[in-house]
Amino acid sequence: MKITIIGAAGMIGRKLAERIAQTGAIGGQTVDAMTLVDVVAPDVATDFTGQRVSYAADLTEAGVAAKLVADKPDVIVHLAAIVSGEAEADMDKGYRVNLDGTRALLEAIAGVPDYCPRVIYASSLAVFGAPFPTKISDDFNLTPLTSYGTQKAMGELLLNDYSRRGILDGVGIRFPTICIRPGKPNKAASGFFSGILREPLNGQEAILPVDDDVRHWFASPRAAVGYIEHAAMMDTAPLGAQRCMTMPGVSATVAEQIEALRAVAGDEAVALIRREPDATIASIVAGWPRDFDTVRALETGFRAENSFEEIIRIYLEDEMGQSA
């Protein structure tokens, strides 16, 4: 089987490629060839025993999408995107990358005779906008309130339509906020969700800019890779015409995150969290969804963690090499 990962230099793309290199398979299916593409050449999966191609390319440039599908990969994982803050700050760039790039890929697939690949599309909780019910169900309308959310919602509709027409076999994954993200702190509004755990676990101070009662929807990087692995080989017939789903996760407040940290790493780690209110971040986070009822995803075999303590222990295992 051939797989192409677009956006392979990002955190999820890199971990997915490393997982495939480690196992030689995805979703139980042997991978013979893997192509890794991003705007910078991905440098991962060097131990992959099959055919491996890695190069830099911009999906929005003429001819790139056609090159990506020329060898008819069986599975295409589309992770490439301009994320929320940048898409809001630069509207033209957001639509060019998140919408035009996605459509270019789908049109390139449509132009290849006798070809119908599995396409896994990375979407976002940003397709939902307030006001929210206490728990968002699978039939809640897409009502984005940002350019990024709008672009992702349009991508979901395209995936549905091209799947309906038999051009491709799509699965759309709305990722929870991924936590704990490895690496250094960043300036993303959601970065503190990982930071208040990652930094204390590494013996460093962390800044908490919001109140303890802020609630959000989370999953680990390991779960994120698992979603894609499952989506690659699942039976899509039960999805019908609606190919996009919110993934399972853990709904937790900041206070619950902190107590999970205490349970795993003790009071000394919690003491490294410094409260420093930020009205701007608090305002942004107040407009985010908090909890989901992910019946469709669970019924079709997707899985995630069951507690925030489990998410923390996965970080210790996967990123710090510690037995949990």
Q: What is the pLDDT of residue 45?
A: 63
Query: Are 257 and 213 spatial neighbours (Cβ–Cβ below 8 Å)?
Result: no
- Name the residue range of residue 268's domain: 191-217+249-291+306-320
Q: Please state the domain count of the chain.
A: 2
Q: What is the pLDDT of residue 186?
A: 66
**pLDDT (tens digit per residue) in 113-149:** 999 999 999 999 999 998 999 999 999 999 998 899 9
Does position 67 have pLDDT exceeding 60, yes or no?
Answer: yes
**Rounded percentage of the chain residues whose pLDDT exceeds 70:** 98
In terms of domains, do 125 and 162 share one?
Answer: yes
In terms of domains, do 135 and 257 share one?
Answer: no
Give the confidence band of 85 by pLDDT, cuts at 50, 70, 90. confident
In terms of domains, do 151 and 198 share one?
Answer: no
In terms of domains, do 81 and 63 share one?
Answer: yes
- Catalytic residue selected from 148, 162, 227, 315: 148
Does position 194 have pLDDT exceeding 90, yes or no?
Answer: yes
Report the alpha-carbon distance of residue 122 to residue 96 in Å, rounded.
Answer: 16
Does position 188 have pLDDT exceeding 80, yes or no?
Answer: no
**pLDDT (tens digit per residue) in 218-245:** 999 999 999 999 999 999 999 999 999 9
* Residue 148 annotated among the catalytic residues of the structure: yes
